Structure formats: structure tokens, C-alpha cells
Structure 1
Amino acid sequence: MLDQNRRPKPWKILKSKTTFEDKWLRLRSDRCETANGDIVEPYHVIKFPEWINIIAFDQESLELILVDEYRHGAGHAVFGLVSGAVDGVDGRSISVASKAAAKRELLEETGYRTHDPKLLLTAMPNPATQSNLVRSYISFDAQRVAEPNFDAGGSEFCLTVKRDFVDVLADISSGELIMQAMHVAAIWSAARYILKTANLPNNVQPLHDKVCTFLFD
């Protein structure tokens, strides 16, 4: 049941096949043997591309840049971070490609450009059934340089919304703002980053002070 490090042993994959695949995802169906010998069949694993999201602040106002977008799974518009998938145009190395994807998605969805976003958080969206990771970035230098440029095909459309960061934290805490869980994790990680990072840009100090007051007063 446990390995040499006293961790649960991985299952053995006895048989595996692709049962569905399109440009968005691949569904793998496995026949597995658990550590205690039980057979689990089928067990479905969804293969998605690597994902990114970005906590971007307007350089002048230090407001958080969000998007308001219809989400078909929920059936209504949802406020969220700029986010998307890492694809082939972003580069070969996953660290380089993820950072490039964050910059690309921010420009495409909002018209804002950032030059050097910092990696904030790496997480597993759902390790029970998904094999990908999501990487979250933070940037304080976003500037509006263009109009949004959505992907061709008509399915992508969102509104750019700028909000006070502390107000967003408060609304998440009160339950007034319900967001995707990975975005919530990134936003709270951003709050910690703002509090703990010693070499923040000088213009970010007022934001640091507001976050500190919200959390500790």
C-alpha cells in the first residue's frame, strides 16, 4: 500500500486507450490495478494542454485587470482572471512557453501588455482526472496598448473590468464574488506575494499597505 517513502503507491495501468480526442482535449480510459489489488475499469483521465492565468495590475491605477466572460459550463457570465492554454506558438520550454502564453492572452483578451510577469503559483487543477498543471503569473506593469483581439470563430468574447484588488479580496471572502477555484487560489497567492516580497516596485507600496490593512486590521 505504501512505497519506500511512506506514500501511497501509484496504481498499475494494465491497459490504456484513447476513447475521445479533438483539438481541445484527449480522453484516456485505463484499466488499473490499485495497490491492494482491486481492479478499476474504466478510469478516465482527461489530457488538457498546460494552462495559465495572470494577475495583472494596471501600471497607473494599480487596479486588478479582470475579464467578464460567458462560461457555458456555468451557463452565465463569470468574472475571472485572464487565462488560457499554452500552445505551440508560445515556445518549446514549458517555463518559457507558459510565460509567453500569459503575456499573449493578456494582450489578446484585454489589449494590455506586460513585459516581465513573475511566476506566482503552480497548481494541479484536478489531479484525480486531469494530468495538466496551471501556472499563475503576477505583473504590476500592464499598460493598455491596443483593442482586444479575440480568436477567430466567434466563440471568444469578454469585457475588460478593472477593480480595486482589496475589494476583490473582500468580495471573495464574503461570498459575493464567486470565481473559478484556480483563480481564487492565484488571487490569494498574489495577496501573500504583495505582503512578503521585499523588492516590490516603488509604485506598488500603496497597494501593499491596503492589503496589509485589509488582512490585519
Structure 2
Amino acid sequence: MTDDKDKQWTVLESEYLIRRPWLTARRDWVRLPNGVENNEYYVLEYPDWVNVIALTEDGKFIMERQYRHGLRWTGYEICAGACEEGETPLESAQRELHEETGFGGGEWTHLMTISPNTSSVNNQCHCFVARGVKRVSAPHQEATEDISVHFLTVDEVRSLLLHNEIKQALMLAPLWRYFAEHHLW
């Protein structure tokens, strides 16, 4: 086994190109271990993200449908959002589920932590499973959120997965893992 430190790049210079609440871009000038320099390596900075595979007390998957402007596409997703400062990933996941769907409680487990893109993005996505959640209030969606909440069976979610009707990779990874681990094929 090799030491990963011998693979690390040296940052010679760093410059922020834009710093906005939902877009922070940095240009690094880096030196690779072999001596090659790249003065235009771009990194996008984000807070960590969370997503939740939420199952109601009767075993239905809580899915959301919303428009995504990047692809100009409306589709199904699991609950997701950003970690806010001072929150643990679990607290963020619980808050997002409550805000977006009005559901809470249940038994929560951490499923996995994944990277949106290890080469150019600095954050991670913490994925949770929440079993036995129930409605605790009405949703409290932000003004920019237009989310409809749906309750789908295992068969319906499986069909979405098999027919490429969920596009977000950070949601597909935990869903596929959940289905594999629970032998839902």
C-alpha cells in the first residue's frame, strides 16, 4: 500500500473568481508530484449536502417531484438539501425532510457519504435512511422551492430506477444501494 501523501498536489497560489451563496469558484495554481504545474485548476466550493430515503410507517417511499433548471427537466427525487452552519449532517437531513415534506420522527441511520465529484468539488453528500416517519406538520418550503410530495411503493420506485426516471446521481447511488442491500429486485 502506498502513502497517499506522495500523490498530493502543492497549491502555489489560489484566487477566488466568484463568491456567492450558491456558487463559489476558485482557481488554483498547483504543482503535481512529478513537477508539472497547472495554473488553471478550478474548484467549486459548496457546503456539505444531505439526502434522505424516507419511508412512511406503512412502508411507502416519500418522493418529491420538482423542476430542475440545469437540465430543464421535471422528475422524481428523494429529499435533499444543504447542511447549514452549526448543524450535523443528521440534523440537516432531519430539517430538510421536515421543511420539504412535513414528515419527521422515525428511526434514522446513516447509509453512506459520497462525493459529487472528487476532482473539482470540495464537498460531500451524507445519505440517510429514515424509517417509520410520519406527518408532523405541513411542509415549510422556501419561496424558490416548488415541490410536490408523492408516496410510492417499492415497485414504483424500482420502476423509476430501471427506466432512468431519476437523473440525480447523488440520489441514485443511495437508492441503488438501499435496493441492493434489501434485496428489492
Pair in the same fold by TM > 0.5: yes
- Per-residue CA deviation, residues 66-96 of structure 1 (Å, 9 max, x unaligned), is 1101111111212101000000252xxxxxx
- Per-residue CA deviation, residues 104-134 of structure 1 (Å, 9 max, x unaligned), is 1111101111244110011111111101010
**Paired position in structure 1 for 2:160:** 171
**Paired position in structure 1 for 2:177:** 189
Q: Compare the two structures and name the one with the higher strand fraction.
A: 2
- Per-residue CA deviation, residues 10-36 of structure 1 (Å, 9 max, x unaligned), is 221111111110112321110111222
Q: 1:8 to 1:68 in 2, by over 3 A?
A: farther
Structure 2: distance between partners of 1:143 and 1:14: 52
Structure 1: distance between partners of 2:161 and 2:147: 21
Pairwise mapping of residues 46-65 of structure 1 onto structure 2 (< 5 A)? 46-60=44-58, 62-65=59-62
TM-score for both structures, normalised by structure 1:
0.79
> Please, which runs of 5 or more residues in structure 2 have no aligned partner?
none
Out of 80-89 and 165-174, give the one that drifted further. 165-174
Post-superposition offset of 1:37: 1.8
**Paired position in structure 1 for 2:112:** 121
Structure index of larger Rg: 1
**Paired position in structure 2 for 1:155:** 144
DSSP 3-state at the match of 1:169 = helix
Q: 1:89 to 1:9 in 2, by over 3 A?
A: closer
Pairwise mapping of residues 1-217 of structure 1 onto structure 2 (< 5 A)? 4-5=2-3, 9-60=7-58, 62-88=59-85, 90=87, 97-151=88-142, 154-175=143-164, 177-195=165-183, 211=184, 215=185
Q: Compare the two structures and name the one with the higher helix fraction.
A: 1
User: Counterpart of 2:149 in structure 1: which amino acid?
Assistant: T
User: Counterpart of 2:111 in structure 1: which amino acid?
Assistant: L
Structure 1: distance between partners of 2:12 and 2:39: 10
Post-superposition offset of 1:170: 3.2
TM-score for both structures, normalised by structure 2:
0.91
> Please, which runs of 5 or more residues in structure 1 have no aligned partner?
91-96, 196-210
Structure 2: distance between partners of 1:114 and 1:179: 28
User: Counterpart of 1:72 in structure 2: which amino acid?
Assistant: H
| Contact 1:118 1:139 survives alignment (8 Å) | yes
Length, aligned pairs only: 185
Structure 1: distance between partners of 2:150 and 2:111: 22
DSSP 3-state at the match of 1:20 = strand
Out of 185-194 and 138-147, give the one that drifted further. 185-194
| Contact 1:51 1:84 survives alignment (8 Å) | yes
Structure 1: distance between partners of 2:36 and 2:141: 48
| Contact 1:51 1:85 survives alignment (8 Å) | yes
